[in-house]
Structure 1
Amino acid sequence: MTDAELDTVYTRLCRTMTQVGEANAPMFLARFALLAIERIGDADVSLKLIEAAGDGVSG
């Protein structure tokens, strides 16, 4: 994926989260994650991505 494509995809993700609203953003992200995990089709890759996404995010 090129930098331009990455920017396009990220922009669409942000716009969609704005459209669904703050209250629905967690459900949207969970659904997106499940769809992406299914498309990736590799548990090890998916687990590493989950770990990487969680790095630096405090709860």
Structure 2
Amino acid sequence: MNDSELDAVYTRLCKTMTQLGADKSPLFLARFALLAIGQIGDPVTVERMVDDAAAGLAE
């Protein structure tokens, strides 16, 4: 995926969350994550991505 495609996909993700509303965004992100995990299909990669996503967010 090139930078332009990444930007387009991220923009669609953000617009979808805006359309769903703040109350449904966490559920949407959880469902999206489960679908992405299934598509990735590699537990080691997914675990690394979870760690990377959480880095710097914990207090």
**TM class by smaller structure:** over 0.9
SS of the residue aligned with 1:12?
helix
Alignment gaps of 5+ in structure 1: none
For the pair 1:7 / 2:7, whether they are aligned, the reply is: yes
Runs (4+) of structure 1 moved beyond 2 Å?
none
Provide, for residues 4-58 of structure 1, a one-character-per-residue CA deviation record: whole Å limited to 9, x for no partner. 0000000000000001100000000000000000000000000000000001113
- Residue 39 of structure 1 corresponds to which residue in structure 2? 39
CA distance in 1, matches of 2:22, 2:3: 27
Q: Which amino acid aligns with 2:45?
A: V
Written as runs of structure 1 = structure 2, the 5 A alignment for 1:14-29 is 14-29=14-29
Could you tell me the TM-score, scaled by structure 1's length? Answer: 0.96
CA distance in 2, matches of 1:5, 1:58: 30
- Residue 50 of structure 1 corresponds to which residue in structure 2? 50
SS of the residue aligned with 2:36?
helix
Alignment gaps of 5+ in structure 2: none
RMSD: 0.9
Length, aligned pairs only: 59
